[in-house]
Amino acid sequence: MLSRRTLLTAPAFLQGLSRSKPNLLLLMSDQHRADWMGCDGNAAVGTPNLDALARDGVRFRHAYSSTPTCTPARAGLLTGMSPWRHGMLGYGEVARKYPVEGPRVLREAGYYTTGIGKMHWAPQRNLHGFHQTLLDESGRVESPDFQSDYRAWFASEAPNLSPDATGIGWNDNTAKPYVLPERLHPTTWTADCAVRFLESYQRPQPFFLKVSFARPHSPYDPPQRHWDRYTEARLPEAVAGQWAAGNKPRNSQRDDIWHGDVGRALTRRARIGYSGSVSFMDEQLGRVTEALRKRGWLDETLIVYLSDHGDMTGDHYLWRKSYAYQASARIPMIARGPGADKGTLSDVPVEIRDVLPTLLTAGGVPVPAACDGQNMLQAKRPWIDLEHDVCYDKTNHWTALTDGRWKYIYHAFDGREQLFDLVNDPQELRESSDAEALQLWRGRMTAHLEPRGEKWVRGGKLVPRPASMLYSPNYPATASSSTAAAEK
C-alpha cells in the first residue's frame, strides 16, 4: 500500500503502474445511513464488499453530509464547496454551472470521465464536464422530452412491463420485494453498465468513473432473496429520544410521511426492505470492484465510497432525511487504494466537500482555491458545519456543528438549541445539560454564522430565522431559482 507521503509526490507515485496517474472510482449510493454496515458495527446487515473496502483502506467514522438531502449534497460533491459557498442551503436545483466542477477539472487534467446512475442535476442531461453519462433518474422527468437511459433500456427489454410495477412511492415508508425479474432492477442495471465500462475500457487516459446507485433510497424494494434474509433477522429497532415526543403524531395518513409513529410492525417492515436494499446495493457494488480487480487495476485505483445522506427509518419518529440527527446526516465514507493506509479508522470529521480534493490530490491535479474541502487522507479540522433550509415544514430548519463527539443544533424557526454527547449517547436519546459544553458550541456557531450578516447573528447572539433562505448569495446566477419539487 502506498503511503500518504507518496500520494503527494505525483512523479514517483505510480512507478510500475500501467498509467502515469491512478484511475479514480467514485462509488455512491443514495440515502445510506452510516450505521447500516457491518464495518460500522451493525452485525445484522450484510455488507461484505463495503467491509472489504474498509479493511483494505480508510473508514471515516465521523463523516457527514452537511446539507443532508439529495441535491445540495450533490452540489457539494460536484464542487468541493461548503453549502454557503456553492449556494444551496436546502433542497433546490443544482446550478447549471459552477466555477469549479470535478468532472470538468479532471477532464481538463487528462482523465476520461464517465458518470453512471443517478446524477440529480438540472437540466438532467447536463454533463458538468463528464465526457458521457448513463442516467438512472428514478421517476424524475423535468423536461417533456427526457427519458433516462435506464428507462429507455427497460422499455426495450420489457416493453409490456412497468418499471414501477412494485407500486411503492419514491418517499414511502412501506416496503415489499421487487415484483419483476431481478435483472430489470435499477440497481442491477447500474452495476451492469459499470462492469461493461470496466471490461471494455481501452483508452490510454486514466479514467474517472462515478457509479451512483439510486438505492437504498426508497422505494424499499429489494429482490425476494434479499428480502428473505432479513425477515427473521435481529435488526436494530427504531429509537426515540426523550425530546422527540412531538414527532409521534403522523403529519399525514399517506405513506410518504416525514414524521409519525407507524407502529413497531410497519417500522420493522420498512427496515427489512431497507436492509435488503443495502445488501443488494453492496452485492452489485462488489461486481464493480471485482471487474476492476480482473483488469489488474484494483491497487492502482483510488476508490471512494459514500452516500449523499442517511435515512431516519423511524428513529425519533422521523422518516426520510433533511435532519441534523445521526441517522440522517452521518454517512458512510471509505477510501481504498493509493494513499489510503490499509485498515485505518479515522476520527477526523470529514464531509462530502472533501471528496473532490481527495480525488484531485490522488490524480496529481492542483486543488482549486475555490474548494473548501480538504484531502480526506490528510484532513485536519476541529469540527464540521451542517445546515438545512426549511424542508417538509417551517419548523424543520436548522444549523449545526459536530466533531463526531459532540453535536450542537440551532433550530432556526424558534431559536431552540439541542446539544448531544455522542460518545455517551450515540443515538441522541438525551439532550445534554452540560452548560460549559453548550456555551462552547454556541460560541462556535456564532463565530461561524456571523460573517453572513445580521439575519444570522445580531449583537453577538444567534437570532431565529423563521423565513426560508434556500439559496445563499453565492448561488451561480446562471441557475434557475426554482426548486426541483419532484422529490425531497
- Contacts with 189 (C-beta within 8 Å, 6 or more apart), sequence order: 136, 150, 153, 154
Query: How far is residue 475's CA from residue 85's CA, in Å, rounded to a whole number?
Result: 8
**Per-residue confidence (pLDDT) for residue 144, from 0 to 100:** 86
Residues designated as active site: 70, 120
By the 8 A CB rule, do 429 and 242 touch?
yes
Q: What is the pLDDT of residue 478?
A: 62
Give the pTM.
0.93
- CA dihedral in degrees (358, 360, 361, 362; nearest 10)? 90
Q: How far apart are CA 423 and CA 316, in angstroms?
A: 19
pLDDT digits (tens), the chain, 488 positions: 223 322 233 333 333 334 689 999 999 999 999 999 999 999 999 999 999 999 999 999 999 999 999 999 999 999 999 999 999 999 999 999 999 999 999 999 999 999 999 999 999 999 999 999 999 999 889 888 899 999 999 999 999 999 999 999 999 999 999 999 999 999 999 999 999 999 999 999 999 999 999 999 999 999 999 999 999 999 999 999 999 999 999 999 999 999 999 999 999 999 999 999 999 999 999 999 999 999 999 999 999 999 999 999 999 999 999 999 999 999 999 999 999 999 999 999 999 999 999 999 999 999 999 999 999 999 999 999 999 999 999 999 999 999 999 999 999 999 999 999 999 999 999 999 999 999 999 999 999 999 999 999 999 999 999 999 999 999 998 644 333 333 34
pLDDT value, residue 20: 82
pLDDT of residue 403: 98
Mutual angle of helices 149-157 and 186-200, in 10-degree steps: 100
CA atoms within 13 A on the CB side of 242: 7
Q: Give the C-alpha separation, 444 to 382, whole Å.
A: 11
Which sequence spans correspond to the domains of the chain?
A: 4-381
Q: Name the nearest CA neighbour of 483 among 92, 119, 73.
A: 92
pLDDT in tens, 340-379: 999 999 999 999 999 999 999 999 999 999 999 999 999 9
Report how far residue 388's alpha carbon sits from residue 468's, in angstroms, rounded to the nearest whole number.
10
Residue-level pLDDT at 3: 31
CATH, domain 4-381, list 3.40.350.10, 3.40.50.1370, 3.40.50.740, 3.40.720.10: 3.40.720.10
pLDDT of amino acid 19? 66
**What CA–CA distance (Å, rounded) separates 482 from 340?**
40
- Grid coordinates given for 346: 479515522
Write down the residue that cell numbers 446495493 correspond to: 281
Q: At 4, which amino acid appears?
A: R
Question: Tens of pLDDT along 264-279?
Answer: 999 999 999 999 999 9
Q: Per residue in 72-105, pLDDT tens?
A: 999 999 999 999 999 999 999 999 999 999 999 9
Four-point Cα dihedral 196, 188, 309, 455, nearest 10: 70
Q: Which residues contact 1 (CB under 8 A, 6 or more apart)?
A: 299, 340, 341, 342
